[in-house]
Structure 1
Amino acid sequence: MKGADWYTYSPPPDSNWNWRNICKGSHPPVPWYKDVWDSWTIPKHSVIGWLIQRKALNTRDKLFQFGISGSNCCVFCELDPETHAHLFSECTYSKQVISLIEHWLHMRFQTPPGNCSTIRRKVWRVVKLSCWYVLWMERNTCRIELKLRRPEMLVSEVQKIAMLRIQQKVSSLIQQLEISWLNSLGFNV
């Protein structure tokens, strides 16, 4: 398996039957895989992003359906049922947050940037997942404390999180490039 691609890997016929069954049960990668699982994204944000993409978060519509919640209304707008689509793209509150982020980034939020540099795409991923994470945390806080912050405050939080993460990744990238350069000069750092 070492060095092989998981999605094209085929176990040898003489391998353990458990291993053959595990390998048989794999699924092809989903189109949004790289937009969620990227080395620049914050792991807990990636987990939330993955759950959002799979519609696996316990939104109020699900909790209501199972009799856990007394209401299925969105915590933010209290108008429509709280589904994944509503909470992260259709709600007026979420739309305000997303609009402010699009204005800040100078790019669309929902669709990945087309022909742009790798760095811009990575920044888009970090910001999008940070936004989803902050929206989900705000939703949970609002459910408990019954207070909702202004959209600008969420955007400010997303900006701080994203800037810190990007600075961290860029500085480590620069350090790696500098180390490579120093090693090429024979310094063996």
Structure 2
Amino acid sequence: MGKHVWLITKKKENIWVQWIHSVYLKGKPWWDYSPKNDDSWYWRDICQIKEMMKQHITENQLMAISKYSIKKVYLKLMGSAPVQYWTNAVWGRLGHPKHRFIIWLALLGRLNTKDRLLKIGVTTDNTCLLCGIAVEDHRHLFSGCPFSVRCWQQIGS
């Protein structure tokens, strides 16, 4: 539907675009147009997509696109994501699927640690099972717990 917004914005020589301009827009500026309640559902959806696009892209930026590409518009709307260097380590071909999944959850901070389980009401205690001193969360589990520190030291030596 983004392509329809682009076609109307560019005023492409297309019978559908000409029909839209004669039936709905009637000489009004497209970028400021808002549909009526009795317009067709599809036209209202196109206008809704235009409103979403307006939050991230200007009319001039959309006009500057010579050939519509979903990828180009997506990158303009979402921006470029920072490169994640850990993805090759997690999703490399030598890892076991179970290990890949657990590492992925750990890197995203989504493991079911006791602090997360307490928030959803599964447990009533959030102290670390390994040391019994502090709250079990990702930071404590991987770098703050005395037991995990000893494990990392043994792995490193």
TM-score by length of 2: 0.47
Q: Which TM-score applies when normalising by structure 1? A: 0.40
Larger Rg: 2
- Choose between structure 1 and 2 for higher RCO, CA contacts under 8 A separated by at least 6 residues: 1
